[in-house]
Chains A and B, each alone.
Chain A
Amino acid sequence: MAVEALRLDGVTRRFGAVTALHGASLVVAPGEFVTLLGPSGCGKTTLLNLVAGFQTPDEGEIFLGGESVTRVPVWKRDIGMVFQSYALFPHMNVAENVAYGLRARGMPKVEAMGRVAEALRMVRLSGLEDRRPRQLSGGQQQRAALARALVIRPRILLLDEPFSALDRALRGGLQVEVREIQRAAGVATLFVTHDQHEALAMSDRIAVMSGGRIHQVGTPEEVYARPADRFVAGFVGDATVLRGRLRGLMGGTAGIEVGQAVLEADAAPLRGLSQGAPVDAFLRPETLSPGGPALLSGEVRSVVFQGGHVDVHLACAEAAGGRAVARLAPMLASGLAAGSVLELAGPSRCAAFPAEEPA
């Protein structure tokens, strides 16, 4: 059995009175792409900095390739990091930038240049060796930073919001490209982002974080379809929240009464609740469809064309916050206009959690 690339055991980090990270535990398998997803201030950057070694944990242990690095300084950890600003050295050309980590390890220049050429081929920057970073486009800078991090064959690749500085139009293509390069290099990767779309699109697994805690670790499908708690359900993907009552628990499945309808949900988050207790049902927009039996209805506020689908926003008294959103095929949404009333049928299964305040 291969050793895990990264293991965090109950890592806690405090800044004065503030605890930025509460006993985080996480394992990244060799070659795996794991994303830390959460809003700003959730502790994801702190976690990344702890793995990199820019900070030291107050409690807990960090292992890279099975070896404890908790007290090892950054420059001895064999990590590869791509920074938010890329942090390419402006006084060096692309080749010198990529060679930096090899030279710091004492590799002779000739040998280093061979490895640099190989790395630049991998990120498709061959021929740009002599350019200065500022002569490169944003996407090229990112690939140069990636080559610089990968050429040292790091034990883990750390990506700190590497797409946030790029145009939206560029991001999609680069996400696919970064993932392909990462897969080809076979390097375990920890990726930090606050963008759920990026996380869902790129990850093998996602660790959803908030308030310094890891709320759930799972594949994108798991995190989206079976969120572990309210925070994950609300943060990853859009949702319409309806108040209902717990009808009963049967094995792993709970029955939820919402109005006249009965929905099924994962029982785990509802264990310990008594029958009839108020619960909140989280409905994904694509699980709502026009027609009956109506689970909810409301006046159309806006119809947003998104190309492949249409987002219909409704004013809906039953839903939390008074708003509901349905994602419809453009065909189904044709003829809908602001002001018309729409009835929506729900799914048979949803995610449900104990109600936040008593109904």
Chain B
Amino acid sequence: MAGEKSTALGQGAPGLLRGLALPAWLCGLAFAAALLAVFQYALRAHVPGELEPGGFTLQNFVAQAHPLYIGVFWDTLLLCAGTAILSLLAGYPLAWAILRTRSRLARSMILAIVITPLFLGEIVRTYGWIVVLGNSGFLNAALAWLGLGRAEMLFTTGGVLAALVHVTLPIVVIMLAAGLAHIEPELERAAQSLGATPARGFFTVTLPLSLPGILAAGTTAFAWTFSAFATPQLVGGGKVNMISNLVYQLGFASFNFPFAAALAVSGLALTAVSLAALSLVTRRVEQRL
């Protein structure tokens, strides 16, 4: 489909597209050059006390086999998967409500609440979470008022997870809504007319048909979270570390640019592998639909 569309566009406006080709190539070259710079740093030795790296080495990748780094990679993967799953669970009913509600007011309100975080910067949102999760923050004040005591939430994996879900939710809701919009409402009515309870209709018709949208949104949330930096940095407070935080510490606290670059390359590779696996699953599902 996408291929056909772009050919049609190409035939429709060849002059315009040809005119845009040069800037597009220049941008592409700039991006590729930046990435190449990271790659070449990753393959060079760190000289303590020097910003300029030394000669060729694979040591930066070998050193990552240390349990400390493997642990951070593993935590990052878990946080990404957790974020994707939780934002899907939270986003699915919201996307559904946006599509199926008859009240225009309700639709606008849900959209406003879900989309607004997109327009706040990541830092602002993250500080918001610090206020909510902190020891004398909103949640703990509420718990204390209820007589349930206080809970440690800031600088915990759970707190980081909550903040990450908040960050990815708008994208997930928008992608899910786009996917769910393809499901005809008449299909649910047909299932009920055939004797299926609304729950049975949901699990046998609506949910299987939403799978492509769920996988696309989940994949995006996963990849999006992999590069999260400010949220784990501030809400995790150094106790919850993701790859990007490690890269930052090594690069800007220890000035070990080569090792930081190697970690970044490994993270990129891990993302690529995860995405490839997910896209394989997605293709399987789409073939069955």
A residues whose Cβ falls under 8 Å from a Cβ of B: 52, 54, 73-76, 78-81, 83-85, 87-91, 100-101, 104-105, 148-149, 152, 158
5 contacts between A and B (CB under 8 A): A79-B193, A83-B186, A87-B186, A89-B205, A104-B194
Alpha-carbon separation in the docked complex, A83 to B204 (Å): 19
Inter-chain contact B193/A74, CB cutoff 8 Å: yes
Q: Which of chain A's residues has its CB closest to B198's CB?
A: A75
Are B193 and A85 in contact, CB atoms less than 8 angstroms apart? no
Q: Is the CB of A148 within 8 A of B194?
A: yes
Contact A83 B195 (CB under 8 A): no
Given contacts A52-B193, A81-B189, A83-B189, 5 further A-B contacts (CB under 8 A): A74-B193, A75-B195, A75-B198, A91-B209, A101-B196
B288 touches A78 (CB 8 A): no
Chain A neighbourhood of B289, CB < 8 A: 90-91
Tell whether B187 is near chain A: CB-to-CB under 8 Å: yes
Asked whether, in the complex, the Cβ of A104 is within 8 Å of the Cβ of B193, the reply is no
Interface centre among B186, B197, B208, B288 (most CB of A within 10 A): B186
Query: B209 — which chain A residues lie within 8 A by C-beta?
Result: 90-91
Determine if B282 is an interface residue (Cβ-Cβ < 8 Å).
Answer: no
Q: Tell me whether B284 is interfacial, beta carbon within 8 Å.
A: no
Complex: A81 Cα to B192 Cα, angstroms: 10
Docked CA distance A83–B186 (Å): 8
Interface size of B in residues (CB-CB distance below 8 Å): 20
Assembly CA distance A60 to B284 (angstroms): 51
B223 to chain A, nearest CB (A): 26
B191 partner, pick from A54, A73, A90, A100, beta carbons under 8 A: A100
The answer to whether B50 has its CB under 8 Å from any CB of chain A is no
Contact residues in B for A104 (Cβ distance below 8 Å): 191, 194-196, 200
Min C-beta distance of B239 to chain A, whole Å: 45
Please name the residue on chain A nearest to B186 by beta carbon: A87
Closest to B190 in A: A87
Residue of A nearest to B189 (CB): A54
Known contacts A90-B209, A90-B289, A91-B208: does B193 contact A80 (CB below 8 Å)? yes
Q: How far is the CA of A90 from the CA of B192 in the complex (A)?
A: 16
Q: Closest 7 CB pairs between A and B?
A: A101-B194, A87-B190, A87-B186, A104-B195, A81-B193, A104-B196, A74-B192
B4 interfacial contact with A, CB 8 Å? no
Q: Give Cα distance in the complex from A297 to B73, angstroms.
A: 93
Residues of chain B within 8 A (CB-CB) of A76 are: 195
Least distance between A297 CB and chain B CB atoms (Å): 52
Asked whether A75 lies within 8 Å of B197 as measured between CB atoms, the reply is yes
Contact B196 A87 (CB under 8 A): no
Whether A152 lies near B195 (C-beta < 8 A) is yes
Taking the closest CB of chain B, its distance from the CB of A165, in whole angstroms, is 12
- For residue B80, give the distance in angstroms from its CB to the closest CB of chain A: 28
Chain B residues whose C-beta falls within 8 Å of the C-beta of A80 in the assembled complex? 193-194
Cα distance, A202 to B205, chains bound together (Å): 33
Q: Mark B196-230, 1 if CB is under 8 A from A, else 0.
A: 11101000110011000000000000000000000
Q: Is the CB of A100 within 8 A of B189?
A: no
* Closest Cβ–Cβ distance, residue B119 to chain A (whole Å): 35
- Report whether A85 and B194 are in contact in the complex, using a CB–CB cutoff of 8 Å: no
Closest to A78 in B: B195
* Interchain nearest-CB distance for B278 vs A (Å): 20
Of A78, A89, A91, which is within 8 A of B190 by CB?
A89
Q: A75-B197, A104-B200 are in contact. Are A87 and B184 (CB under 8 A)?
A: yes
Which among A54, A75, A78, A152 has the greatest number of chain B C-beta atoms within 10 A? A75
Q: Which residues of A contact B191 (CB under 8 A)?
A: 89, 100, 104
A71 to chain B, nearest CB (A): 16
Chain A residue, CB-CB nearest to B183: A90
Please state if B184 and A100 are interface contacts (CB–CB under 8 Å): no
User: Does A91 contact B288, Cβ atoms closer than 8 Å?
Assistant: yes
Are B194 and A100 interface neighbours, CB within 8 A? yes
Which residues of the partner chain A approach B193 to less than 8 Å between Cβ atoms?
52, 74-75, 79-81, 149, 158
Q: How far is the CB of B224 from chain A (nearest CB, A)?
A: 28
> Which residues of B have CB within 8 Å of A90?
209, 289
Interfacial chain A residues near B186, Cβ < 8 Å: 83-85, 87
Closest A residue, CB atoms, query B209:
A91
> B196 and A83: CB pair below 8 A?
no
Of all chain B residues, the one with the shortest Cβ separation from A148 is: B194
Do B190 and A83 touch across chains, with their CB atoms under 8 A apart?
yes
Most buried by B among A52, A100, A158: A100
A80 to B193, CA, bound (A): 7
Chain A residue at minimal CB-CB distance from B193: A81
Chain B nearest Cβ from A40, distance in angstroms: 17
Given contacts A87-B184, A89-B205, contact A81 B196 (CB under 8 A): no
Point out the residue from A73, A87, A148 that lies within 8 Å of B189, measured CB to CB: A87
- Cα(A74)–Cα(B184), bound, Å: 18
Contact between B195 and A105 (Cβ–Cβ < 8 Å)? Answer: yes
Alpha-carbon distance A87/B198, docked complex (angstroms): 16
> Are A85 and B192 within 8 A (Cβ)?
no
Q: Which residues of B contact A81 (CB under 8 A)?
A: 189-190, 193
The interface centre, meaning the residue of B192, B193, B197, B289 with most chain A CB atoms within 10 A of its CB, is B193
B209 to chain A, nearest CB (A): 6
A84–B190 Cα gap in the complex (Å)? Answer: 11
**Chain A nearest CB, measured from B189 CB (Å):** 6
Nearest neighbor of B182 in chain A, beta-carbon distance: A90
B202 to chain A, nearest CB (A): 12
In whole Å, how far is B236's beta carbon from the nearest beta carbon of chain A? 41
> Residue of A at shortest CB range from B205?
A89
Q: Chain A residues with Cβ under 8 A from B204's Cβ?
A: 100
**A85 proximity list for chain B (CB < 8 A):** 184, 186
Against A, the Cβ 8 Å flags (1 = close, 0 = not) of B85-127 are 0000000000000000000000000000000000000000000
B186 to chain A, nearest CB (A): 4
Q: Mark B171-194, 1 if CB is under 8 A from A, else 0.
A: 000000000000010110111111
Mark interface residues in B277-289 (1 if CB within 8 Å of A CB, else 0).
0000000000011
